[in-house]
Chain A
């Protein structure tokens, strides 16, 4: 191994670049830290605690918005949210690694015993899942449960299929081949979309409804909502399920979905709030907004929860969690719209606030 002059000089240049990059970023970090500490001294509130969280990536943008604005109210409480997926959130909370977690799906009954300090659900917000498609000349499309099930199972292969035509009498549907795009990763969006298919598709839906699905071979897969959105946008004739904010951000066109009342409704935050209003909240604050009743209801939505333990050793953690959750059910709900989430109906908020006393120290 001889280090010749050319290689040595290239190394020197690379090192110099690396040092320069590190230098500038550390300078930025330290100046941020400085401004943060000045606001801490100016704070009036006294709770000091650290709340670490992880879990659902779906609710991450909402969590970040709430944490950001909560910091102004309670600068002494440091809240972090690492994402990583609902499964990670559940595992971390059960293991006591985190003080709180985010999840789009409920803890399985057989796993509840693993939460030795108890388990509480806190409904957070909800968001519609769109059926986005890429079909030139068709800017309005109506789909229902059974037809969507057949499309995603590969039984309806072209856009001019009789079943699609029957739902869209006015539209000029081309004979383009349908390319189905689904998720490559396990996800709450996949779970809620397939559970809607299981509910609205009836006997026509034959696959597994859950975080993962045994999709037919040779369909296209994308990682995360952005991955599916990109695949739909790049492939003429494609259709995929994408959460509302990613579909909007990618400029996708989405279908109106026939709801339980037989009305075709386009995805919207209002339609999702309407679905929540039609849904009964269980005693443990879990609920299922899929395929809800009502004329204005959009039938496919992802509910999402914060989950916490019931008892914590540190009384400050309990106080901090109560303050954070109180903020979420007050100011926080108004932030939902800015990040494309639908806020909770008033009775959900009331019931969630009533649960705050169940958080105890000891």
Chain B
């Protein structure tokens, strides 16, 4: 067997070297094409946004006032960056535990019978278009949550930090569209990503370690805590950061449920706005510097998600290397 394989490899290498070279060149072109397009997008968008970023970088990156149609227009991105970050963090707070729970159920806890259907349903969740999530959020969830937010706000009011976080500015009223609602919708949208990556990561835990833990008399949870979770730490971090990138870039669902009110507020039940949402909402009527500022927001968001993804890549790469090393 081994001899036969070796012979074929030799024969292949010997016979079609020109074909191989052409194929290698083709794959290289494909890979470079992506790089070129990415670079092109960044350059072209940067050029469009330049009028607003160049002279007024300080206002743009640190300013909080967004008033594009004033006689002296101001394009401060801080309110949008804040909304993007806050709604994404809320999404992670809810999606991470739930996703890890689903993944553990599928890989280590649940009976084999339920694994197929659960994976299928989670995959289906990923197939729902974001506009459907957004419409469901604004038409069904937001009005319903309005009362719940009110009750919750009253219940936690005396608690020091939570009391001001879980409340709306000026109390009551509003439409239920808020940082928090946006975060919840985003949580639903990133759950499939975290779940499927965590499942893949959990499955790389060497079964020898798991069996050893169980043989020592560990309960299932103790086994998971002692072997699966430590082994998967890096992989999970990567999954979370990839999901974070997705949540930050989500446009239409956020635009529908976040409430379109530009503010940096500690009250999470208050309406806010996010970078992607304001681009979707205001691009149609924008000209001149206004348009440049919106494109600038796009570039800024692009850079933020690139940073998040680079961190994710570095961590996932480490995890893969570590897993490979340990598996041997």
Q: How far is the CB of B212 from chain A (nearest CB, A)?
A: 27
CB-contact partner of A223 in B69, B169, B255, under 8 A: B255
In this assembly, does B175 line the interface, its C-beta being within 8 Å of a C-beta of chain A? yes
B287 contacts across to A, CB distance below 8 A:
87, 90-91, 108, 111
Contact partners of A87 in chain B: CB under 8 A? 283-287, 290-291
| A6–B116 CB distance below 8 A | yes
Q: Does B158 belong to the interface (CB within 8 Å)?
A: no
B63 contacts chain A at the CB level, 8 A cutoff: no
Closest A residue to B174 by beta carbon equals A220
> Assuming the A-B contacts A6-B116, A179-B173, are A213 and B69 also in contact, with contact meaning beta carbons closer than 8 angstroms in the complex?
yes
Inter-chain contact B116/A7, CB cutoff 8 Å: yes
> Which positions 105-122 of chain A face chain B at CB distance < 8 Å?
105, 108, 110-111
Contact A235 B271 (CB under 8 A): no
* A218–B265 alpha-carbon span in the complex (Å): 10
Contact B285 A187 (CB under 8 A): yes
Known contacts A177-B173, A179-B173; decide if A209 and B69 are in contact (CB<8 Å). yes
Contact B284 A88 (CB under 8 A): yes
B224-278: which residues lie under 8 A (CB-CB) from chain A?
255-256, 259-263, 265, 270-271
Distance in angstroms from A290 CB to nearest chain B CB is: 16
Closest to A182 in B: B260
Let me know if A185 and B285 touch, CB within 8 A.
Answer: yes
Closest beta carbon of chain B to A254's beta carbon, Å: 20
In this complex, what residue of A is CB-closest to B120?
A7
- How many of chain B's residues have a CB under 8 angstroms from any CB in A? 38
Q: Which of B68, B261, B291 has a CB less than 8 Å from the CB of A217? A: B261
Q: Is the CB of B261 within 8 A of A221?
A: yes
| CB-based contact B285/A221 at 8 Å | no
Docked Cα-Cα span, A187 to B287, in Å, equals 12
A155, chain B: closest CB distance, angstroms: 14
**B261 to A85, Cβ gap below 8 A?**
no
B66 within 8 A of A: yes
Question: What residues on A are CB-neighbors of B120 within 8 Å?
Answer: 6-7, 10
Chain B's closest residue to A237 (CB) is B173
Residue B70 CB within 8 A of the other chain: yes
Q: Is the CB of B281 within 8 A of A223?
A: yes
Query: With A and B bound together, what is the CA distance between A186 and B256 in angstroms?
Result: 14
Residue among A4, A212, A231 with most chain B CB within 10 A: A212
A215 adjacent to chain B (CB < 8 Å): yes
Q: A139 at interface (Cβ–Cβ under 8 A)?
A: no
Asked if A188 CB lies within 8 Å of chain B CBs, one says: yes
Chain A's interface size range is 35 or more
List B contacts of A223 (CB < 8 A).
Answer: 255-256, 260, 281
CB of B219 within 8 A of chain A? no
Q: B288, A221: Cβ atoms under 8 Å?
A: no
* A208 contacts partner chain B, Cβ-Cβ < 8 Å: yes
Residues from 191 to 215 in A contacting B, C-beta threshold 8 Å: 191, 208-215
Q: Check: B117 CB closer than 8 A to any chain A CB.
A: yes
Asked if A85 meets B285 with Cβ closer than 8 Å, knowing A217-B261, A218-B261, A219-B261, the reply is yes
Is B101 engaged at the interface, CB distance under 8 Å to the other chain? no
B69 touches A218 (CB 8 A): no
Give the contacting residue for B271; candidates A111, A220, A234; CB below 8 A. A220
A84 at the interface (CB under 8 A from B): yes
Tell yes or no: B170 within 8 A of A by CB: yes
CA distance A6 to B265 in the complex (A): 48
Alpha-carbon gap, A4 to B65, bound state (A): 54
A85/B284 in contact, CB under 8 A: yes
CA distance A186 to B69 in the complex (A): 10
B69 and A6 within 8 A (CB) = no
- Verify if A184 is at the interface (C-beta below 8 Å from B): yes
Indicate if the CB atoms of B284 and A221 lie closer than 8 Å: no
> Which residues of chain A have C-beta atoms less than 8 A from B174's C-beta?
179, 218, 220
Contact call B65/A214, Cβ cutoff below 8 A: yes
Residues of A within 8 A of B255 (CB): 184, 223
How distant is A100 from chain B, measured CB to nearest CB, in Å? 17
B153 to chain A, nearest CB (A): 14
Q: Are B261 and A186 in contact (CB under 8 A)?
A: no
- B102 within 8 A of partner (CB): no
Closest chain A residue, CB of each to CB of B116:
A4
In the complex, what residues of B have CB within 8 A of residue A91's CB? Answer: 287, 291
Kindly list chain B residues whose C-beta atoms are within 8 Å of the C-beta of A88.
283-285
Cβ contact within 8 Å between B175 and A231: yes
Residues of B within 8 A of A187 (CB): 285
State whether the Cβ of A86 lies closer than 8 Å to any Cβ in chain B: yes
Residues in chain B near residue A184, CB distance under 8 A: 255, 259-260, 281
B57 CB to closest chain A CB (Å) equals 21
Closest 7 CB pairs of A and B: A210-B69, A85-B284, A184-B260, A186-B285, A221-B260, A217-B263, A87-B285
Can you report 7 A-B residue pairs in the complex whose CB atoms are below 8 A from each other? A10-B120, A91-B291, A111-B287, A111-B288, A185-B282, A221-B260, A231-B175
Given known contacts A188-B285, A217-B271, A220-B259, what 19 new A-B pairs fall within 8 Å (CB)? Answer: A4-B116, A7-B116, A7-B120, A108-B288, A184-B259, A186-B285, A191-B69, A208-B67, A211-B282, A212-B282, A214-B65, A214-B67, A217-B265, A219-B261, A219-B271, A220-B173, A220-B271, A223-B255, A234-B175
